[in-house]
Structure 1
Amino acid sequence: MSEDERATRIALAACYRLLAHHGVDDLTYNHLSARVPSAPDTLLIKPTDMMFGEVTASSLGQYDFDGRPVKDDRPRLAGGALVIHAGLMQARPDLNAVFHTHTTANIGVASQEHGLLMINQHAVKFHKRLGYHTFGGYEFNMSQREPLIKSLEGYRAMLLRNHGALVCGRTLPEAFVDNHYLEFACRGQIAALSGGAAYTLIPDEVAAFGSSQVNFDDPEKTGAKDWAACMRLAYKLDPTFAD
């Protein structure tokens, strides 16, 4: 195993454990995936019957973009792992991490006609940087791959209507931190709208200015400060994720 694959396995396993710690866990459903730097035509992803909180570095499978296992006799990829993760990795060489999640908050906002509002500062990071994809059924069929890829053109984050969220990154830390921001933006929106009282929106010009204050150009700087702290937390919670 190359050193970069080993490091990617440990980092991706940490992402699974940290999201489980923060309550982002829909039984065995959803996946987080990462491209292997030294084998860019392959991705790492959890087994389909494993919950986020069970994932370890060694339990992650390595697959090509047709869903074939690279190193062992694991079952072929199917469903969302094949349609969403392998599909996006193949179509978007600029993406090296894909997070697909279902939470009460992101499903709620994805189901609202207006989508994500500029209703809190976490949302500002996604000002004019968030795509939308119309629900066309469960991602079980390969025919659903191309529409998904098309909807993500020009974006790295997207709300899947009536479904959940998709956050991609040029690096794993970028995907993890952006996923955190989108989740908090959605939670804040649901909280603000559920009270029944009048609410305020951030004016478009202010949202545009706030978005300009964030560095989107250098993926190595995106989330770097937070990521180091996240890794410390992962080891503190349960260091066996790195096994």
Structure 2
Amino acid sequence: MATAVPMRPAMTEAEWQARQELAACYRVFDMLGWSEMIYNHITVKVPDEDGAFLINPFGLHFSEVTASSLVKIDIDGNKLDDSPYPVNRAGFVQHALFHRHLPDAHCIMHTHTTAGMAVSSLEGGLQPINFYACNFAGQIAYHDFEGVTVRDEEGERLLANLGDKRVMLLRNHGILAMGRTLPEAFIRHWSLQRACEIQLATLSMGRPLTVAPEVIAVHQRDLHMAQVPGGPGAADFAAMVRLVDRRDTSWRN
């Protein structure tokens, strides 16, 4: 007996492509061990629709998210589709704030990884003691913990602390990364996560070697020469999606 193929919801081709890319990203995060029960969020703006973005259904694990199950909401948190799933206010408040005020924040990622939370809880935060950490020297913002992010009034301080940066360590909380594209946000999150993991390992062994500012400047100047054509993170993210597809392709539905 033939297996029934799920019906694709009615929407623009651009929205469907955005849904598939975002669903793939949730599966990639899960594959990399960055899931946190049913919590944390990755959001993307809906192409050609002002103020609309996609977010994960509250109640599904990252490994269960599919293109059609993503929830479409407006900047005020109102559902724009007939999804049966609720939206986590703790995710919506923070993400809607940045989507509303930052034109270049097409994709926003927030996680509670062990390494990210640990370094965000450390006096001094991320230190320039490894290759990946040097990527972020002078380019990472910090925001003090104020409790679970469900209050709109915290937004003004979040924006002020972010400034012109697009990567932030939420102190005692975790990683926040954003980008002009989903792959760009992904490679920023991945690199910051690696920097945090390596810092934890290094500090557990003793006194670290700190990279000199003049070396960091050369490193950041030359980083573009080690990137594959196609835009920041594009080849990296595509490689991760291929790995996900070897496990499970249900995210495409």
Counterpart residue number, 1:93: 103
TM-score, normalised by the number of residues in structure 1: 0.94
- Quick check: 1:69–1:75 contact (8 Å CA) kept in 2? no
Superposition deviation, residue 215 in structure 1:
3.5
Q: How does 1:38-187 map to 2 (within 5 A)?
A: 38-72=48-82, 74=84, 77-187=87-197
Closer, same or farther: CA 14–73 of 1 in aligned 2, 3 Å: closer
- SS of equivalent residue, structure 1 residue 165: strand
Match of 2:215 in 1: 206
Cα distance change of structure 1 residues 114 and 127 upon mapping to structure 2, 3 Å threshold: same
Name structure 2 gaps, 5 residues minimum.
Answer: 1-10
Q: CA deviation at 1:145?
A: 2.0
Equivalents in 2 of 1:90, 1:152: separation in Å? 14
Which deviates more, 136-145 or 207-216? 207-216
Q: Larger C-alpha radius of gyration, 1 or 2?
A: 2
CA deviation string 1:169-218 (max 9, x = no partner): 110000111111000000000100012x22201111111211111249xx
DSSP 3-state at the match of 1:43: strand
State the one-letter code of the partner of 1:80: A
* CA RMSD of superposed structures (Å): 1.7
- Percent identity over paired residues: 39
- Which residue does the alignment assign to 2:8? none
Name the residue aligned to 2:252.
242
Cα distance in structure 2, aligned partners of 1:215 and 1:169: 16
Give secondary structure in 1 for the equivalent of 2:51: strand
The reply to whether residue 188 of structure 1 matches residue 203 of structure 2 is: no
Segment drifting more, 157-166 vs 199-208: 199-208
Q: Indicate yes or no: 2:238 matched with 1:228.
A: yes
- CA offsets, 1:2-30, max 9 Å, x none? 11111111110111111111110111110
CA distance in 2, matches of 1:237, 1:205: 44
The one-character-per-residue Cα deviations of 1:70-95 (angstroms, maximum 9, x if unpaired) are 12265664522221111110011111
Is 1:24 aligned to residue 34 of structure 2?
Answer: yes
Q: 1:5 to 1:176 in 2, by over 3 A?
A: same
One-letter code aligned to 1:117: Q
Match of 2:3 in 1: none
The CA deviation at 1:148 is 1.4
Residues 65, 74 of structure 1: alpha-carbon distance in 2 compared, 3 angstrom cutoff = farther
The alpha-carbon deviation at position 33 of structure 1 amounts to 0.4
Gapped regions of structure 1 (runs ≥ 5): none
Count of paired positions: 240
Q: Give the residue type in structure 2 aligned to 1:12.
A: L
TM-score (norm. length: structure 2):
0.90
CA distance in 2, matches of 1:169, 1:65: 18
CA distance in 1: counterparts of 2:177 and 2:47, whole angstroms: 19
The more displaced of 75-84 and 24-33 is 75-84
